Each structure stands twice: as structure tokens, then as C-alpha cells.
């Protein structure tokens, strides 16, 4: 087993002391018959071990594409990374050969999805799929692999794991399937887990179970977690930091307490006041007028300006706002962030 | 009580489970809706919440007559929809319309928006004479905040939120008193969701509509509903006004459901009462005896398996609750 571990560690340039994950100026575009869609237009973020970073945004803003680019599973063609770097412990993953990339994917960075059924193979039992991972990547014997698979299913709280390893994915309920997928993702002890809307299709009581499980596994393993979601309740419950995306850009990045207390970008602020609250009655829901832009026709200047309550000429005429430093570890892409943060 | 516009009594829908293809034999039934009593008053919004599979959509279809009940009655303006036939049924149906969840599949892609919204006039020609229809459809588009000039466009030319507005316009066409909304905003992004919720609220004020508002999102329901019915496995387990359901819930299922909803305020993290339910919802084909929630309930005792708790006001619950041990518990606020 140490042999194998050593083998994975042969990643040229790997520096165990470097930042766990760092995404700089990532650009992704889709070249389709209808023109070029600019799905990601300069995404930046960092992730530490044990940290939960939430990527928050409405559908189509580029969350999943960002995750796919980090994982190296972008649908290409038509999707291309056109600029930027994805640095894992100092190594730019975008420069790696596919074979090396695949090793990183299996061992270091794992991903789970909204739809577990499409992520699992329907024709093999879950026990077989798990055991294969251990046999292939860890060189385990059939018996050891089976034992380890049962342990893992136990860890993700599948009741009677020993009896269920012969079952096929469709024989599990939605919540249990999500657990199986988590087990698969964590089998090879990754340092980073990317969870793309992991509970969006689930009922709230099941969501609570799964989020609780993820938090616990993350703590035990000191794993970095990137949680992709549109749900501001879930984010408030689990995230350490948040990156808010709009039209392919991170428009605001901040620690979780700060962003809820004093949002610095008009989009974040508008989102927060457009959601009904469970613990309050009767507040007026403010509305963000209009729609997010088509990605092949992103407005010039600040992409949010047609919907923004703070917009003025500068927003339309100047180049897109840079990521202004709002505070230590806090940025916002709005020329008028001071005004946004100050007025209550 | 002339104030009540809709009332169900003992409403039941069982879907037979059959075996065999040529000679089908009935081997059981999915008890999707299993004895539901509801009342909706004029101008009121009754929220119906519960997790998937608890029977919300089946209930909605029973209310608008898209499904025939196995037992029970649906009274709309004091007429029993279940008994009515022919012209009388057609006329009664006018008063109760429906808005569906999925703005992508609930509109026929081959029909223009004008034809979709005007279709109800074909079935109820008495509402608007033929030559006034185009104008009526344009007015409806305007009412729901769409451009009346887009009458000849097709559904795919609209965004999700706009399609939901089209569905609302169609429901309004016959000037109903009641609209049953089955997860009308569940598929929409939050910024669009707020637009549609505000629209539904202003239409209610303008036309004096009564809503049955079905959703799994308890925050949305709190915002829009005057009263709430909580469903579990085909039954209503608790009903009450906003204050009663959200601030003083007495049924353990309601409490668990509320405690599982994340609140968008990180300061509440770890400071709210947390109830984590074990396991999954049992099959509605074979619900537990007595109280259907007992297999997941932390309060269950022998009586819960033996005796079905009725939905009623109790010594320790000022509003109807179907639990032998109903007792208020605050699960929303920091303790
Ligand atoms: N396979 C694809 N082909 C073409 N365009 C795509 C593809 N996948 C994603 N896109 C584009 O990228 C945009 C961002 O998508 P995505 O990252 O999935 O959004 P979300 O934030 O909802 O996860 C979409 O609006 C879509 O236009
Ligand atoms: N046409 C049908 N035939 C058989 N079973 C059905 C049918 N429609 C719904 N059911 C079952 O009835 C139960 C309630 O479903 P539904 O009313 O759709 O619940 P909800 O809307 O609360 O998710 C589910 O178990 C579902 O599988
Ligand atoms: S830069 Fe201007 S348009 Fe963009 S968010 Fe700020 S105020 Fe609004
Ligand atoms: Mg996505
Ligand atoms: Mg439903």
C-alpha cells in the first residue's frame, strides 16, 4: 500500500506546503453553433484543508462548469478552458497529461453530484463498484477490498451494510444512494471533495441527514470541501467562506458571517432580500428585475448592471469592475461596494 | 358557512397495485390520500406541505377533478364535485383551476401562448364570446406581467419564470374563485421565485382569489399562507395558522420538518433545536398501524401502534394535531 501511495505522490512540482487548492482567473467557453458561450469568465478562489467553501449562484451562472474544469471532466468539445490555472498543492492541473490528471482525480480530488443514479453504474452492485476502486487503486485482495467496502458503507451510515453490498444502485432510496456516492468519492481518501448540489433533489429531512454526514466526514478527514449550491440556507448552516457567482464571475467573496450581515455586492444583497424566511412572517420580498444574461451576449461593463439598483454610467461604460478589496479575505466586484455595504 | 369556498370530507384516493398483464389481479393499493378533511375560506391561502410522496399532488388532482376519489367528497361552493355530471360538472369546474410546478413540461410546445391561454374558452365558451377572445388573452398577458404583443410566440421562447406566468394566465382565464397551485415556484431560481410569489399575492388581492398552495419549501409557504396543513403518508397530521404551525408546532413530524429547514442566518448555526429523523418514509402501500409516523418518532409508545391519533384539538395543542403526545416545541429560534 505504501508503494502505491508513493506512486501517487510522484506528481512533478508537488509541494505539500503549498495552498491546497487555488483557482486563478479561470475562463471556460463553449463553442457551439449559436456562437461562443462564456460560461466562466475569471473565477478565483482558494481552499484550505478542513475548510468549506460555498459557491453560490443561480442556475446557469457557471458553478458546475467551474467544478468540471477543476476536475478535468469538462465536456470538450464544445467546452474549453481558455485561460487561468487550477493549482493543487502548487501543481497546475491544467498543465498535466490526462493520465496524471486521472490519478489526481481518483486519489486527491473527488466529486459528488445531485443525481447519484447517473454517477453510479446501474449494472454492478455497489459492493462491487467500491471493491473495484480498492483493487485497482490500492492493489487490495478481493477479501480485503470487500471488508474495506463494508467499513466505508458503515461510515456513511448505510444500515446493515454487510447485507446490502450485493444490492444495485436502484435498490437504494434517494438518500441512501447519495450516501453510496459519498462512499465512492471518499474511498481513496481525497483531500478535496467537490459537492455539486448534493442535496438539491432530496427532501429537507434527508438533506439534513446528508449535510450532517458530510460535515462529520469532513471533520474526521480534515478535508477541503467545495459546496456548490443555490440554497442560501444550506450555505449559512455549513460554509466558512462563500463565493457568489454571477454570469461566470465570482462577484463577491467573503467569510460567511460577514456576507450575511453586510453584503458588499448588489447581487448578493438582492438575493438575500428576495428569499422568504422560515423564522419570520410578512416581510416584503424584494425582486431582482429581469433575468440573468445570455452567456453569448454578456452586457458590457458590469454584467449585473441591467438588473442593478445601484447602477450608473460608470457601470455601463467602464471595463468590468475588478475584485475590489473590501476587507482582509473579502472582495467584491462592484464600483460602489462602499455604498452597498454601508446603507442598510 | 357561505365563507367556505372549498371543503373536502374524508377524501381518499387509493391507486390499485396489480399483478399480471392479461389477467390483472389486485394485490394491494397505494394509499396516496387517505382521509383528508380540508376547508378553504374566501380570499384565504391554505398551504399544504409535506415531503415527496406524501400525497400532495394527488390531493391537488382530486380537488380540481383530474382524479376520481376512492371515497369522500369535494365541495366547491357547496356543490359536491364528485356527484356532479355533464354540464353541471363542467360549469362547476370553472371555479377551480390549477397551476403546475414544471414550467417546462406543463405547456404544450406546439401551441402558441395565445392558444394555450385561450384554450379554456373553448371548453367554457360562455365566459368570453369568440370575438372578444384575443383581447381577453392580451389582457391576461398584461395582468400577469407579460407583453401582450407576444401572443403568437411559443413556450420555448420564454424563460422559466415567464412560462410560469403563462400557466397562471391560463388558470385565470375562466375567472375562477379558487386556484390550486402545485409547487408553482419550486423549479424557479430564487430571484425569479420572488417575482412569481409577488404576482400570485397581488392577483389574490385584485381578484379576491382563494389559493391552495402546495409546496415542499416551508419558508415559501410561511410567506404566502394564512393557514397550513402538514401531510405525512396521505394524511394531514397538523393544521393551524401561521403562528401555530411555525411558532408552536405540536406534532413531532412538523417539528422535525421545521428543524431540518436551514435558515439563511449563520448566527443561528448550531443554536437551533435539531431533530434528525432516522430512516426513510415507509411505503404508502403498507403504512404502519396506528400513527403512521411512529416508526420514525422519538416519542412513540405502545398506544401509537394500537390507536390511530385523530386530527383534533387537544389539551396540550390549541390547534388540531394528530399525535397522542402533542406538545408545543420551538424549533426555529435560537435557544
Ligand atoms: N455541454 C455544454 N454545451 C454547451 N454549453 C454548456 C454546456 N455545459 C454548460 N454550458 C453552458 O455553461 C453555462 C453554465 O452552466 P453550469 O455551470 O452548468 O451552470 P450552473 O451554475 O447552473 O451549474 C450554461 O448556461 C450553459 O450555457
Ligand atoms: N397514478 C398513480 N398510480 C399509482 N401510484 C401513484 C399515482 N400517482 C401517485 N401515486 C403514488 O401516490 C403517492 C403520492 O404521490 P403524490 O401525490 O405525487 O405525492 P407528492 O406530490 O406529495 O410528492 C406516491 O407514493 C406515488 O407513487
Ligand atoms: S458595479 Fe454597478 S451595476 Fe455592477 S453591481 Fe455594482 S452598482 Fe450594480
Ligand atoms: Mg449546476
Ligand atoms: Mg407533487
Query: What DSSP string describes A90-149?
Result: TEEGGGS-HHHHHHHHHHTEEEE-S-HHHHS-TTS-HHHHHHHHHHHHH---HHHHHHHH
Strand, coil or helix: what is B203?
helix
Mean pLDDT within A128-148: 92
Would the CB of A266 count as within 6 Å of ligand 3? yes
Give me the helix-helix angle, A98-107 and A126-138, nearest 10°: 120
CA–centroid distance, B104 to ligand 5, in Å, is 15
Q: Do residues A26 and A84 touch, judged by C-beta distance below 8 A?
A: yes
Least CA distance to A285: which residue of chain B? B194
Residue A312 has pLDDT above 50, yes or no: yes
**What is the residue-wise DSSP string for A38-64?**
EEEEEEEEEE-TT-EEEEE--TTSSHH
Gap between the Cα atoms of B84 and B93, Å rounded: 10
Least confident window among A1-5, A265-269, B115-119: A1-5
- Which cell numbers in the block locate residue B152? 403568437
Facing residue for A205 by CB, picked from B220, B256, B269: B256
Window from A281-295, A300-314, B107-121, B222-236 with minimum mean pLDDT: A281-295
Pocket flag, ligand 3, residue A334 (CB < 6 Å): yes
Q: Is B226 helix (H, G, I), strand (E, B) or coil?
A: coil
User: From the centroid of its chain, how far is CA B117?
Assistant: 22
On the question of pLDDT at A62 being above 70, the answer is: yes
Q: Which residue has the higher pLDDT, B1 or A237?
A: A237
CA of A61, nearest ligand number: 1
The pTM score is 0.91
Is B263–A236 a contact, with Cβ atoms under 8 angstroms apart? yes
Rounded CA-CA distance A220/A71 in Å is 23
Closest residue in A to B159 (Cα) is A291
Per-residue pLDDT tens listing for chain B (335 residues): 459 999 999 999 999 988 887 888 888 899 999 999 999 999 999 999 999 999 999 999 999 999 999 999 999 988 999 888 888 888 888 999 999 887 677 788 899 999 999 999 988 888 888 888 999 999 999 999 999 999 999 999 988 889 999 999 999 999 999 999 999 998 888 888 999 999 999 999 999 999 999 998 999 999 999 999 999 999 999 999 999 999 999 999 999 999 999 999 999 988 888 898 887 889 999 999 999 999 999 999 999 999 999 999 999 999 999 999 999 999 988 87
Chain mean pLDDT for chain A = 91
DSSP helix/strand/coil, A65 = helix
**DSSP string covering A226-275, please?**
EEEES-HHHHHHH-SEEEEEETTEEEEEEEHHHHHHS--SHHHHHHHHHS
**CA of A62, closest atom in ligand 1:** 17
Contacts of B136 (CB under 8 A, 6+ apart): B118, B121, B128, B173
Of A44-53, A281-290, B128-137, the range with the highest mean pLDDT is: A44-53
Phi first, then psi: give them for residue A69, nearest 5 degrees: -65, -40
Stretch A71-95: mean pLDDT, rounded? Answer: 94
Ligand closest in space to the Cα of B189? 1
- pLDDT recorded at residue A1: 43
Question: Which helix (H) or strand (E) is B47 found in, with range?
Answer: strand B45-49
Residues of chain A neighbouring B195 (CB-CB closer than 8 A)? 287
Strand runs (DSSP E) across B81-209, as ranges? 96-99, 178-182
Residue of A292, A301, A302, A337 with the most ligand 3 atoms within 8 Å of its CB, for mutation: A302
Taking only the tens place, the pLDDT of each residue in A176-223 is: 899 999 999 999 999 999 999 999 888 898 899 899 999 999 999 999
pLDDT at residue B103 in the model = 67
Chain B CB contacts of A256 under 8 Å are 266
CA B188 to ligand 2 center in whole angstroms: 22
Cβ of A336 less than 6 Å from ligand 3 = yes
What's the pLDDT score for residue A268? 96
Hey, whose CA ends up nearest to atom 18 of ligand 1?
Answer: A64
Name the residue of chain A whose CA is nearest to B255's CA.
A205
For residue A205, which of B38, B120, B53 has the smallest C-alpha distance?
Answer: B53
pLDDT at A11: 79
CB distance A287–B194 less than 8 Å?
Answer: yes
Give me B264's grid cell. 439563511
Q: What is the mean pLDDT of residues A240-245?
A: 96
pLDDT band at A255 (very low <50, low <70, confident <90, very high): very high
- Point out the ligand 2 atom lying closest to the alpha carbon of residue B50: 22
Look up cell 394528530; give the residue.
B322
> For position B1, what pLDDT does the model report?
45
> Which positions in chain B have a beta carbon within 8 angstroms of at least one beta carbon in chain A?
51-52, 159, 161, 189-195, 197-198, 216, 218-220, 222-224, 242-243, 246, 256-269, 274, 276-277, 279-280, 332-333
| Cα A224 from chain centroid (whole Å) | 11
Picking from B267, B253, B264, the residue whose alpha carbon sits closest to that of residue B331 is B253
Amino acid at each position: 500500500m505504501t508503494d502505491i501511495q508513493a506512486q501517487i505522490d510522484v506528481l512533478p512540482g508537488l509541494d505539500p506546503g503549498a495552498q491546497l487548492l487555488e483557482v486563478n482567473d479561470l475562463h471556460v467557453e463553449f463553442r457551439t453553433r449559436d456562437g461562443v458561450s462564456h460560461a466562466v469568465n475569471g473565477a478565483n478562489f482558494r481552499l484550505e484543508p478542513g475548510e468549506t467553501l460555498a459557491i453560490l449562484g443561480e442556475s446557469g451562472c457557471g458553478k458546475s462548469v467551474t467544478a468540471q474544469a477543476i476536475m478535468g471532466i469538462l465536456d470538450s468539445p464544445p467546452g474549453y478552458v481558455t485561460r487561468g490555472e487550477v493549482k493543487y498543492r502548487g501543481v497546475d492541473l491544467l498543465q498535466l497529461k490526462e493520465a496524471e490528471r486521472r490519478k489526481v482525480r481518483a486519489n486527491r480530488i473527488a466529486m459528488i453530484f445531485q443525481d447519484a443514479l447517473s454517477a453510479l453504474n446501474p449494472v454492478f452492485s455497489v459492493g462491487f463498484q467500491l471493491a473495484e476502486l480498492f483493487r485497482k487503486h490500492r492493489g487490495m485482495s478481493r477479501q480485503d477490498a470487500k471488508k474495506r467496502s463494508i467499513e466505508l458503507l458503515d461510515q456513511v451510515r448505510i444500515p446493515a451494510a454487510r447485507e446490502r453490498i450485493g444490492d444495485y444502485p436502484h435498490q437504494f432510496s434517494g438518500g441512501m444512494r447519495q450516501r453510496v456516492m459519498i462512499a465512492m468519492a471518499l474511498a481513496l481518501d481525497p483531500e478535496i471533495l467537490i459537492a455539486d448540489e448534493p442535496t438539491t433533489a432530496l427532501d429537507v429531512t434527508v438533506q439534513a441527514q446528508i449535510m450532517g454526514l458530510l460535515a462529520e466526514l469532513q471533520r474526521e478527514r480534515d478535508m477541503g470541501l467545495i459546496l456548490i449550491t443555490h440554497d442560501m440556507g444550506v450555505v449559512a448552516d455549513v460554509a466558512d467562506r462563500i463565493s457568489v457567482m454571477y454570469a461566470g464571475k465570482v462577484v463577491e467573496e467573503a467569510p460567511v458571517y460577514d456576507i450575511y450581515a453586510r453584503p458588499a455586492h448588489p447581487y448578493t444583497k438582492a438575493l438575500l432580500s428576495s428569499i422568504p424566511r422560515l423564522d419570520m412572517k410578512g416581510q416584503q420580498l424584494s425582486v431582482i428585475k429581469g433575468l440573468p444574461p445570455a452567456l453569448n451576449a454578456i452586457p458590457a461593463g458590469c454584467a449585473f448592471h441591467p438588473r442593478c439598483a445601484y447602477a450608473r454610467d460608470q457601470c455601463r461604460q467602464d471595463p468590468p469592475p475588478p475584485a475590489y478589496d473590501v476587507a482582509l479575505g473579502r472582495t467584491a466586484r462592484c464600483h460602489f461596494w462602499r455604498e452597498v455595504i454601508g446603507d442598510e | 358557512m357561505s365563507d367556505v369556498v372549498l371543503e373536502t370530507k374524508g377524501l381518499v384516493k387509493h391507486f390499485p397495485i396489480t399483478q399480471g398483464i392479461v389477467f390483472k389481479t389486485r394485490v394491494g393499493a397505494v394509499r396516496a390520500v387517505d382521509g383528508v378533511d380540508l376547508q378553504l375560506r374566501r380570499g384565504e391561502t391554505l398551504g399544504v406541505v409535506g415531503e415527496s410522496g406524501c400525497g400532495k399532488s394527488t390531493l391537488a388532482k382530486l380537488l380540481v377533478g383530474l382524479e376520481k376519489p376512492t371515497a369522500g367528497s369535494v365541495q366547491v361552493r357547496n356543490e359536491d364535485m364528485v356527484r356532479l355530471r355533464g354540464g353541471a360538472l363542467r360549469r362547476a369546474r370553472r371555479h377551480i383551476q390549477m397551476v403546475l410546478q414544471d414550467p417546462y413540461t406543463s405547456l404544450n410546445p406546439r401551441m402558441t401562448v395565445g392558444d394555450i391561454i385561450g384554450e379554456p374558452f373553448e371548453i367554457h365558451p360562455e365566459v368570453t364570446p369568440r370575438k372578444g377572445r384575443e383581447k381577453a388573452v392580451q389582457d391576461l398577458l398584461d395582468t400577469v406581467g407579460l407583453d401582450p404583443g407576444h401572443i403568437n410566440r411559443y413556450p420555448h421562447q420564454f424563460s422559466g419564470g415567464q412560462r410560469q406566468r403563462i400557466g397562471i394566465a391560463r388558470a385565470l382565464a375562466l375567472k375562477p374563485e379558487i386556484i390550486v397551485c402545485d409547487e408553482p415556484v419550486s423549479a424557479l431560481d430564487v430571484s425569479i421565485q420572488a417575482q412569481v410569489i409577488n404576482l400570485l399575492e397581488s392577483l389574490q388581492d385584485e381578484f379576491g382569489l382563494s389559493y391552495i398552495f402546495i409546496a415542499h419549501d416551508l419558508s415559501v409557504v410561511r410567506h404566502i399562507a394564512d393557514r397550513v396543513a402538514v401531510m405525512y403518508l396521505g394524511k394531514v397530521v397538523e393544521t393551524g395558522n401561521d403562528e401555530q404551525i411555525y411558532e408552536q408546532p405540536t406534532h413531532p413530524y412538523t417539528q422535525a420538518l421545521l428543524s431540518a429547514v436551514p435558515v439563511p442566518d449563520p448566527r443561528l448555526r448550531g443554536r437551533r433545536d435539531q431533530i434528525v429523523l432516522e430512516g426513510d418514509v415507509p411505503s404508502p402501500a403498507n403504512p404502519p398501524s396506528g400513527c403512521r409516523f411512529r416508526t420514525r418518532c422519538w416519542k412513540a409508545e405502545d398506544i401509537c401502534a394500537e390507536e390511530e391519533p385523530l386530527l383534533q384539538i387537544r389539551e396540550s395543542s390549541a390547534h388540531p394535531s394528530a399525535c397522542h403526545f402533542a406538545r408545543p416545541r420551538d424549533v426555529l429560534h435560537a435557544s
